A and B are shown apart, each in its own frame.
Chain A
Amino acid sequence: MATPVLDKVEAESAASPYITVTFRVRRFNPEVSAEATWEDFQLEIDPKERVLDGLHKIKWDIDGTLTFRRSCAHGICGSDAMRINGKNRLACKTLIKDINPEKPITVEPIKGLTVLKDLVVDMEPFFQAYRDVMPFLVTKDTNEPTRERLQSAEDRARFDDTTKCILCAACTSSCPVFWNDGQYFGPAAIVNAHRFIFDSRDEAGEQRLEILNDKDGVWRCRTTFNCTDACPRGIEVTKAIQEVKRALITRRF
């Protein structure tokens, strides 16, 4: 029969979807050179695969010294935020076909934090800002709770958007104010403060607002929306920052 042969030919052509992609990776190794350099890697890869798969191919098959962070590889742990084609994204959520594989794909570490090696940056300033906003439930009731803290669906929906944060630092490291001196709290810390400030069960909202009223708090936000664009979880980061600003103003006036 003619049709099965045709099917087989089609299946064969579909079975080899590989294309050649150039990965242009920003390499930095302080033990070798103080300068960071670009290095190109040619890969045979299915365009439906992710940038992270490409990095794995490089690390496992071409150059084992390539260093980057990743843990779950499914967009939940927030380890592999990096600057791909000049935009902060998670390597594990970016498909090759979505970022024009005809041109070289540039992969850099996120900006504004000290690069330790290749794509690994020192996240400590980022987490310091996160810790500073007290990202945990605070209540005046010091007794051990005997039942769960109930909350209406509306109260829960109030801060639903900001519970999605995975602390990948894509927003904070896309913020031009953070790039300058790193003293600004950064969008991620404000998002996580927002998550508790607007939680009806929490009682330290006032303290958190006072922390974010700082010189380097929410008032340094210039509303450039870089953070909202960068967030791999689709959190409306700039909106959350604006809500914190409004809470500060309505508290005072």
Chain B
Amino acid sequence: MSTTETTASGIGPVEGASLYDVDNPAPVIEPPRKRTKKTPKSTRGNFEMYGWVFMRLSGIVLVVLVLGHLLIQLVLDGGVSKIGFAFVAGRWASPWWQVWDLAMLWLAMLHGANGLRTVINDYAERANTRLWLKGLLYTATVFTILLGTLVIFTFDPNIR
């Protein structure tokens, strides 16, 4: 059987000798872009892009809001010693300062939370660690934002 094959193929003994046959097939070369089970699902969607843009825009707005806030609270009109219940009550009587503080609260919390989210993504190595750290982060963020918003809107200057 082997002699007929070699004469029929016309290939010399060097090229004709194959390492592989039917019982011992050559190794399969996987297709170039094959996805294995370990490959995470690709996430098409613009969430990461919006997150990236949000960080830039909120950063610019926060520079104005936070520096203005610090200037008013700590430097102008007698500095930090003027701050008291009456001062806060007076400020929150005006919708302007309500909106200012609300914007600052939301932007700072979301900016910080998104920043920490990327830090967790970059530094936590195991999926479980990530899950827990992010769970903790989101809980703290939602709690702080909701509590702060509640206080800004339901603040009662006549509380006793």
Nearest Cβ distance between residue A131 and chain B, in whole angstroms?
5
Q: A131-B32, A252-B46 in contact; A180/B123 too (CB < 8 A)?
A: yes
A220 in the interface, Cβ–Cβ < 8 Å? yes
Q: A131-B32, A131-B33, A214-B44 in contact; A180/B122 too (CB < 8 A)?
A: yes
Residues of A within 8 A of B53 (CB): 249
B40, A183: Cβ atoms under 8 Å? yes
Q: A131-B33, A176-B122, A180-B122 in contact; A219/B42 too (CB < 8 A)?
A: no
Nearest Cβ distance between residue B44 and chain A, in whole angstroms?
6
B 52-86 to A, binary, CB cutoff 8 A, 1 in contact else 0 = 11000000000000000000000000000000000
Residues of A within 8 A of B122 (CB): 176-177, 180, 220, 222
Residues of A within 8 A of B40 (CB): 183, 216
A106 in the interface, Cβ–Cβ < 8 Å? no
Q: How many residues of B sit at the interface, in one of the four size bands?
A: 10 to 19
Q: For window 1-51 of chain B, which residues contact chain A by CB distance below 8 Å?
A: 32-33, 40, 42-49, 51
B49, A210: Cβ atoms under 8 Å? no
Q: Number of A interface residues at 8 Å Cβ cutoff, please give it.
A: 22
Nearest Cβ distance between residue B87 and chain A, in whole angstroms?
41
Residues of A within 8 A of B141 (CB): none
Nearest Cβ distance between residue B128 and chain A, in whole angstroms?
13
B125, A215: Cβ atoms under 8 Å? no
B52, A214: Cβ atoms under 8 Å? no
B52, A132: Cβ atoms under 8 Å? no
B98 in the interface, Cβ–Cβ < 8 Å? no
B 122-138 to A, binary, CB cutoff 8 A, 1 in contact else 0 = 11010000000000000
**Nearest neighbor of A217 in chain B, beta-carbon distance:** B48
A61 in the interface, Cβ–Cβ < 8 Å? no
**Residues of A in contact with B (beta carbons under 8 Å apart):** 128, 131-132, 176-177, 180-181, 183, 210-211, 213-217, 219-220, 222, 245, 248-249, 252
Give 24 A-B contacts (CB < 8 Å), ordered by A residue: A128-B33, A131-B32, A176-B122, A180-B123, A211-B42, A213-B44, A213-B48, A214-B42, A214-B44, A214-B48, A215-B43, A215-B47, A216-B40, A219-B48, A219-B49, A219-B51, A219-B52, A220-B48, A220-B118, A222-B118, A245-B52, A248-B49, A249-B53, A252-B46
**List of 3 A-B pairs having minimum Cβ-Cβ separation, nearest first:** A219-B48, A215-B43, A219-B52
